[in-house]
């Protein structure tokens, strides 16, 4: 069965979190320079470096941010929710 990779542009923080917990997503967001950037990321432990799993607590963030595990940087990244344009589910199936 082929997975639908259509970008999801209408979502809540909860929907995005469920998607990230179930697998890898490509998140499209506007970076600090105003340029759209793509990042493959997850919240699924299977894909994380065990030695860095709890390092996210050292990051500065607030309730308007989401912290994700970057597959490219192999570390945590903070993305403001209001800067996210869309995302695509690359692996996994979110539990509804």
Does the pLDDT of residue 57 top 80, yes or no?
Answer: no
Tell me, yes or no, whether 3 lies in a domain. no
pLDDT, average across residues 11-16: 85
Higher pLDDT: 77 or 8? It is 77
- Is pLDDT larger for residue 75 or for residue 5? 75
- Statement: the pTM of the whole predicted model exceeds 0.85: no
Cα dihedral 25→95→46→6 (10° resolution):
-20
As a whole number of angstroms, the distance between CA 54 and CA 28 comes to 25
* Number of structural domains found in the chain: 1
Domain that residue 17 falls in:
13-89
Residue 6 within any structural domain of the chain? no
The C-alpha atoms of residue 2 and residue 28 are separated, in whole angstroms, by 22
Check if the beta carbon of residue 70 is closer than 8 Å to that of residue 62.
no
Q: Strand, coil or helix: what is 66?
A: strand
Per-residue confidence at 80, pLDDT binned at 50, 70, 90? very high
Q: Is residue 94 part of a domain?
A: no
Give the number of other Cβ atoms within 10 Å of residue 92's Cβ: 19
């Amino acid at each position: 069965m082929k997975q639908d990779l259509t970008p999801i542009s209408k979502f809540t923080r909860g929907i995005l979190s469920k998607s990230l917990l179930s697998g890898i997503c490509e998140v499209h967001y506007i970076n600090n320079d105003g340029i759209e950037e793509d990042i493959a990321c997850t919240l699924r432990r299977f894909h994380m470096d065990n030695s860095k799993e709890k390092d996210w607590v050292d990051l500065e963030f607030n309730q308007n941010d989401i912290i994700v595990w970057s597959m490219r940087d192999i570390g945590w990244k903070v993305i403001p929710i209001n800067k996210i344009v869309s995302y695509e589910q690359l692996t996994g199936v979110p539990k509804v």
